[in-house]
Structure 1
């Protein structure tokens, strides 16, 4: 796929301000570093609140392409959608701040898309539109919906998909695939938004649009978010989950040892992480030998089947894989040579 001029407007900072206002006041350093990383990993535009602006603008303004502050000028409720008119102040490194009008339309039901047509009369008075929601769009002919959106608002419409069904990333990626050029994201999908890192991964590993973001910074961004929110993403969350490159079962482990591409869509180093061999009830002798090698444990080959059986039993009893220290304890009982271990 050849794709040009994709633009990502990231709402992470403004979402943190809205959901964690009580936690960010003393997090100036984290906010400053996070804003720089969000830009470096691939976000083109960062939307911020007045609070974030007050905290961090002197430090972050020189590191990001754009900062956008929104002030709500008007909010109107209709039967099928909510219309929010924003007064945007846009900053860039090369320009003085300029004020623009931006319209955000919240609509949850994709079947009501025709009701948006009348809003296009505002096109001459605003700088851009964002359509937020459309959570159920994949249940219908979503390409027909995308076609109407482009007809109504043009390719530069920013789509901010909701994530009620866990499909926000798919909605955003299909939008870019179909012809849209702009999506709005939130790191980790905080607050129910489209996860920034998943869209960036799609650009890196699926699209051919000369993406220049540095995805090896993702672990740093995740740690900063954890520091600010005091919340950790689930271990199996795509792209940023701590366990997504863990492997255990005999067949899986054997495939990874022979050719990682058998199970991995991309090298974990490309997103700043590593694969981890874990040992548990599904592990085989080959995996156990690899783990013992990693832990620098030397054991007689004849003892390995019994050790593996002990590991499997312990893992089944605890209903989880075993930690390295737990494996060390079992091997110690078997008389394993552990050169760096203090007895």
Structure 2
């Protein structure tokens, strides 16, 4: 990706739209307003906030979001048809995504039309939107399975009619990062004047990797959701994409990451999809260390085994005592409990710790650790 674009990556978070499309997820009005404020508060530049064509209740929700006066641009999702765009206009938004299927599979077996029909649909919908001075992202549904020359044609039409960007959607989540890079790079080269947005799904576990690959290939906009919510296996997770951009790519998207844990937990509760403790970046236990080698290394210098400080995402480090613990971890964990343990005492306790951990098949609780220490003290006094 050109260096000129590296400081201009724009996060378009779609938690309020695609995130809520997770099967069984419904956000209340209060929750949507809170999520919007939280995302706006950390600097997310754009929020895809709903589908006005769904009905009056959805339109009322979008109007309430508009009334918040956020710094983030609000953009709605629409089919590439005039009634949908009219519904968005009625909500007072200034930006729309107009989506149309672009793969031959969907053109033939979903829309029952032709490429010519898709082109005409794009011209009508985009023309109408620009007549009403809307910012427009043209969403290419199933772009990952579409013919690249046809996508370039649609992008050129989008550019000529005043469209603002083109959304390359890996709707089925079937791409690998190398193919994503090649496809986005080819489109960037074919129509360099038009911004590209990438929208990735996680069906093969590669949504974040594909999102990063798209950005590296020249996309300036990237869709995310908090915790990776979304259809089927979900979308690229906001927290993963932002931290990957910062740490793996050296690109700062100007997002305050310190509230990621707070936002992740709120969305987890609102969606009734609890965040797994091992969830990348924001899981409660992703900064837990048990094995003797790792615990010793992180105690000496956290940079030995942590790519970034847990406080950067609102978390903290945990030293866990279990089957694989060593003396350094044991001494540190007891110190956290207010018990000063010598190396010799830690060595003496190690056998009992490992035996108990093997028996209970987990790490040991504070109470169990205190009990083992008390037993050791009694044994020493008796001796």
With the length of structure 1 as denominator, give the TM-score of the two structures: 0.83
* Residues 74-83 or 161-170, more deviating: 74-83
> How many Å separate the matches in 1 of 2:237 and 2:75?
19
Q: Say whether the 8 Å CA contact 2:10–2:222 is kept in structure 1.
A: yes
> How many Å separate the matches in 2 of 1:40 and 1:303?
49
1:93 paired residue number: none
Q: In the alignment, does 2:77 pair up with 1:70?
A: yes
Instruction: Tell me: CA distance 1:151–1:164, structure 2 relative to 1, closer, same or farther (3 Å).
Output: same
Please state whether the residue corresponding to 2:229 is helix, strand or coil: helix
Q: Say whether the 8 Å CA contact 2:101–2:142 is kept in structure 1.
A: no
Q: 1:249 aligns with which of 291, 307, 332?
A: 291
Q: Say whether the 8 Å CA contact 2:196–2:220 is kept in structure 1.
A: yes
Q: In the alignment, does 2:145 pair up with 1:99?
A: no
* Partner deviation per Cα, 1:23-47 (whole Å, 9 max, x = no partner): 423x50x322221221233421000
2:97 paired residue number: none
Runs (5+) with no aligned partner, structure 2: 82-99, 108-117, 379-383
Q: In the alignment, does 2:184 pair up with 1:146?
A: yes
Q: Say whether the 8 Å CA contact 2:321–2:364 is kept in structure 1.
A: yes
> How many Å separate the matches in 2 of 1:31 and 1:325?
40
Q: In the alignment, does 2:312 pair up with 1:270?
A: yes
Count of aligned pairs: 328
* Partner deviation per Cα, 1:177-221 (whole Å, 9 max, x = no partner): 232211111111112211111111123324444543210000110
1:54 paired residue number: 60
Q: Give RMSD over aligned pairs.
A: 3.2
Please state whether the residue corresponding to 1:157 is helix, strand or coil: strand
Runs (5+) with no aligned partner, structure 1: 91-96, 337-343
Q: In the alignment, does 2:165 pair up with 1:128?
A: yes
> How many Å separate the matches in 1 of 2:236 and 2:358?
37
Q: In the alignment, does 2:198 pair up with 1:156?
A: no
* Partner deviation per Cα, 1:270-326 (whole Å, 9 max, x = no partner): 111111100000011121111111001245765433432121111112222112222
Q: Say whether the 8 Å CA contact 1:237–1:244 is kept in structure 2.
A: yes
Q: 1:221 aligns with which of 256, 260, 263?
A: 263
> How many Å separate the matches in 2 of 1:35 and 1:204?
23
Instruction: Tell me: CA distance 1:31–1:333, structure 2 relative to 1, closer, same or farther (3 Å).
Output: farther
Structure having the larger proportion of residues in strand? 1
**1:153 Cα deviation after fit:** 4.7
